[in-house]
Homo-oligomer: A and B are copies of this chain.
Amino acid sequence: MSNSKLARALLAPRSVALVGASADPSKNTARPQRYLRAHGYTGSIIPINNTAAECLGETAYASIEVAPEGIEHALIMVPGRHVLGVIEQCVRRSIPVASIYSDGFAETGDEGRKLQERIVEIARAGGMRLTGPNCMGMINTHMPCALSINAVLDIDTLNKGSVGLVSQSGSVMGALLSRGQARGVGFSKLVSVGNECDLSVGEIVDILVDDADTRVILLFLETIRKPDALAAAARRAHTAGKPVIAYKLGRSEVARELAASHTGAMTGSDDSANAFFRRHGIVRVDTMEAMIEAPQLLIGAQPPQAKRIAVLTTTGGGAAMVVDGLGRLGLDVVPPTDRIIQNLAAQNIRIQKTSLTDLTMAGTRKEIYSAVLGELLHSDHCDAVLAVVGSSSQFQPQHAVEPIVCAMPAPKPMAVFLVPDAVQSLDLLHKAGVAAFRTPEVCADALAAFFSWRTPQPDAAIGDVRAAQTLLSSAAGSRLNEYAACAVFEALGVPIANTRIIRTPAETVDVRFPVAAKILSPDILHKTEAGGVAINIGTPAELYAEAQGIFERVRASRPEARIDGILVQEMKKGRAELILGYQCDPQVGPVIVLGVGGTLAEVYRDFCVRLAPVSIEEAREMIEQVKGLASIRGYRGQPKGDLEALACAVARFSLLAQTAQGAVIEAEINPLIVGAEGEGVAAVDGLIELARH
């Protein structure tokens, strides 16, 4: 089906069937019919009810089979076990889209998952698209078409707006509509996607990119099911100038467990999700009300070049609450420039060169607030402006917000925080398109989200992975030993410590001494305990003796173990020992992880995750973001490590994602030794896990 036909059937159907509609208005399944009419739907409503001849005053039909022609969208509310039959009928009647409210599918376990898969097969074969199951339907405020069972539609009116919402939680869709309405913030379309058996979040985002009523796209996510579709849609949205904002559950362990049980979806790590958002230009917010308040801040804006914010207030204490949050989130609150101070002085307005421009009570005079705000908005010393208004916003809303409204359209993003309870002022500001915030925390969250916003990153330049691929293809078994793994890393372009395998103590090696010797055996994981390690070996003669000792001790302690020889490796010392990991996140796919070595990275959760592969620029950013690497970034005058060689190694290592799809499921270099500037890096040990053939 064409995109435009799909978009119309999904979001603006001219004829809808309500399958399982109740004739009893007190039942939940009677709601959609009631809501459609209450909110002014002018298309055909076709209740399907196998006992009643009419529902709430409209002719009902016993089944889809006998319903009139022209149905574009079926909302299916029958018990889960009957859904399959209904879908078959829809296919026969060539209904293009169905939204399945019914539950009892993938969210309940394996049996439900199979039933869900069967339904999708039937729909696909018939050229039909599905949302849900376990979804709450869709609301189009502009058409209008309130095709949902969500009780939020008991509201009197449905505000129109420009925020398109895609939500994995039907109840949160309702809550956001409810909260938005109360604040004068309207949505364009709201789509509940449930289990996403067919149409996924990404595909609906893609449709919203082309929706003229939608200027910003909001996502409420419990998981990420089809990352490729979402990535592509987010990139298209960016190109179309429509920011994509996501709130995602799962920042804590307990919430990840919940999401898994609640959605029946695999959950990946939150760090991986962040890497995904970052790569594809999706802005993440952390607070519920930011979903209502942040969109306005981003509409029409572009990702910022720097993180400088200027703050203007009439009340020090009130503004300090936001600024405290901004400081914690790492933003720079910048004082006015000398030029701004001079310009204002010329108008007889005296301000200080302090980080917060506090006009105190004098600032409640409109011409003063206007003049200062104008200077800040038009100066290039800051990338956004925060305007805080005190008690006047409560009792003189018109007067208090006038300087702000008059500054629109603002030449840069402007956030407004009102310190008292000031519903009218908030409403006036929203109507004028101003991003106005009710709490200091949400204001700080939205500003931090704006400042974390990045243009979608291009796919990292594809490197040559043929040599590595050859090694991987010829590997036997599912786990490569440290020697074979390091050979793959070297083939990708990661420097490795010079290493040889000897089979007998008498073999000589062309490795610079001192060396380390380690038993090589697929059966021995804990080499030291097996007597299989010797370090700081200074001469070939010592190596001979140590190798003999290793063979003897290992044969004694682990007589059953297969022995492949002894690894002889030059001893590398550097400025730091890092871990570089590669994993396939169950949500977003291949990621790489950079962290300091040892247990500290775990204890402090200090590592940086990015989608693989990464470009050299992204690798440099990763190095900046690992706090523990301060020691090789020149912290307190300590000598720097070879950061450029490290960035290069990170980017090369990440090319594992370019090898045959799914072959490598996990890889790790541990440790990666980073030398002083100019001395390079070297992988000393590592492993690769392959998907079982």
Across the interface, do A175 and B391 meet the contact criterion of CB distance under 8 Å? yes
Do most interface residues of chain A lie in helix, strand or loop, or is the interface mixed?
Answer: helix
Task: State the number of copies, please.
Answer: 2
Tell me, yes or no, whether A440 is within 8 Å of chain B by CB: yes
Taking a contact as CB atoms closer than 8 A, the residue among B152, B288, B321, B327 that contacts A321 in the complex is B288
A168: chain B residues at CB < 8 Å are: 317
* With A171-B317, A317-B172, A441-B441 as contacts: A254 and B179 at CB distance below 8 Å: no
Closest to A638 in B: B599
State A51–B316 Cα separation when bound (angstroms): 33
Q: Which residue of the partner chain, among B316, B420, B628, contacts A175 with CB atoms under 8 Å?
A: B420
Set of chain B residues within 8 Å of A321, measured between Cβ atoms? 172, 249, 288
Whether the Cβ atoms of A439 and B289 lie closer than 8 Å is yes
Contact with B along A146-159 (1 / 0, CB 8 A): 00001110100000
Give the docked Cα–Cα distance between A182 and B418 (Å).
14
A390 (CB) vs chain B CBs: closest residue? B171
Q: Does A603 contact B (CB under 8 A)?
A: yes
Contact count band on A: 35 or more
B358 touches A262 (CB 8 A): yes
The distance in angstroms between the C-alpha atoms of A355 and B274, with both chains bound, is 25
Whether A171 and B288, one on each chain, are in contact in the complex, defined by CB atoms closer than 8 angstroms, is no
Tell which of A64-72, A198-206, A629-637, A654-662 binds the partner.
A629-637
Of A251, A252, A354, A361, most buried by chain B (CB within 10 Å of CB) is: A252
Q: Which of B179, B252, B358, B631 contacts A326 (CB 8 A)?
A: B252
Q: Assess the A255–B171 pair: CB atoms within 8 A.
A: no
A439 pairs with B599, CB closer than 8 A: no
What are the residues of chain B within 8 A of A420 when measuring CB–CB?
152, 174-175, 178-179
A179-B421 in contact (CB<8A): yes
A171-B419, A287-B441 given; 16 more Cβ-contact pairs under 8 Å? A150-B391, A154-B395, A168-B317, A171-B315, A178-B391, A222-B320, A254-B324, A258-B316, A258-B320, A262-B320, A287-B439, A288-B321, A289-B439, A603-B628, A603-B630, A603-B631
Could you jot down 5 A-B contacts, CB within 8 Å?
A167-B317, A168-B317, A174-B420, A251-B328, A259-B320
Chain A positions within 8 Å of B, measured between CB atoms, are 28, 150-152, 154, 167-172, 174-175, 178-179, 181-182, 220, 222, 249-255, 257-259, 261-262, 286-289, 315-318, 320-321, 323-328, 333, 354-356, 358, 361, 390-392, 394-395, 419-423, 439-442, 599-600, 603-604, 606, 627-628, 630-631, 635-636, 638
